[in-house]
Amino acid sequence: MNISGTWKGNQVGRHFVWLGQRALGCAGLHHLIDFKLILCCDYGLDAELVSSTIGAPIISVEHRSGVRESWSNFDLDRLFVGEMASRIHTALLNHIEKLYFVAYCSTPGFENLALEKQPD
């Protein structure tokens, strides 16, 4: 039985958003999951390659700030404030199909985003 093939078949037509410290974290999953957006902390030398390989734009704390740090899960909440939060909302609202999140972890900012009223 090919579990990955069965799982992938069940995901046909679904679109996903990656939320994790590193963009590279979703690279191995793109064969199974159709990522439409990558939300992360880092923006290293691999970021553009990951984005072009997967075909999904990246919104990154590091890209915005220009500062490399030793990121933690806590830092993901920086995505959900200010200009980056506006970019995320725009990207999510402009996507016609329903989006599912693959989250490396849960944070208060991500939970608040999930609790916002969804369109019917």
Q: Is residue 98 situated within a structural domain? A: yes
Give the per-residue pLDDT at 120.
45
What is the greatest pairwise CA distance in the chain? 47
Range of the domain at 45: 15-104
Q: Mean pLDDT over all residues of the chain?
A: 83
Q: How many domains does the chain have?
A: 1
Phi, psi angle pair for 95, to nearest 5°: -90, 125
Question: CA–CA separation, 114 vs 2, rounded Å?
Answer: 33
Paired sense of beta strands 15-20 and 99-103, if any: parallel
In contact, 89 and 109? CB cutoff 8 Å: no
For residue 94 the two structure tokens come to 């402009």
In contact, 42 and 22? CB cutoff 8 Å: yes
Q: What percent of the chain has pLDDT over 90?
A: 29
**Residue 109 confidence class, pLDDT cut points 50, 70, 90:** confident
Q: Is residue 60 situated within a structural domain? A: yes
For the stretch 3-31, pLDDT in tens is 555 555 666 688 899 999 999 988 888 88
pLDDT at 71 over 90: no
Q: What percent of the chain has pLDDT over 70?
A: 86
**Residue 105 confidence class, pLDDT cut points 50, 70, 90:** confident
Q: Is residue 89 situated within a structural domain? A: yes
Give the per-residue pLDDT at 19.
92
For residue 74 the two structure tokens come to 């806590």
